[in-house]
Amino acid sequence: MEVKGIGIDIVEVKRFASFKKKGEDRFLSNNFTEKELEYCFSFSDSSVHLAGTFAGKEAVWKALGKTDILQSLFEIRRDTSGCPTVWIKNRQQKTILLSISHTADTAVAVAIMTDRKK
């Protein structure tokens, strides 16, 4: 398996503490899909999940190595076991591996783009 790209991102959870499910927010609508927001706000503390998903999207963007792909064109979903998966234009990208982790204060994500499907 050959690594084609790698990306990492780390964010402070407190950046996402003020976001609420109700009400429109330009940052949320520009950076998250409806499915991502639904997932994040399904938890009592949505801020850690918003931060983790955002870090995941940033890590994927970096691994892709393309500045012409907007974050709004791809989505972080969770499989049945809760592992994050990457979807671009509604198609799962099995060549992009993603790991997301967080504490109460910090979220981090690593994305690796390979030449091989899982």
- The alpha carbon of residue 44 and the mean position of all alpha carbons in its chain are separated, in whole angstroms, by 19
The residue to which tokens 């949320």 are assigned: 28
pLDDT digits (tens, 9 = 90+) for 26-48: 889 889 999 999 999 999 999 99
Q: Give residue 117's pLDDT.
A: 62
Burial of 103 (0-12, 13-18, 19+ CB in 10 A): exposed
The residue-averaged pLDDT of 85-97 equals 92
Domains of the chain plus CATH, in order, are 3-17+25-114 (3.90.470.20)
Percent of the chain with pLDDT over 70: 95
Tell whether the model's pLDDT for residue 118 goes beyond 80: no
Amino acid 48 reads: V
pLDDT tier, 87 (very low <50, low <70, confident <90, very high otherwise): very high
Closest CA to 87 of 110, 108, 107, 60: 60
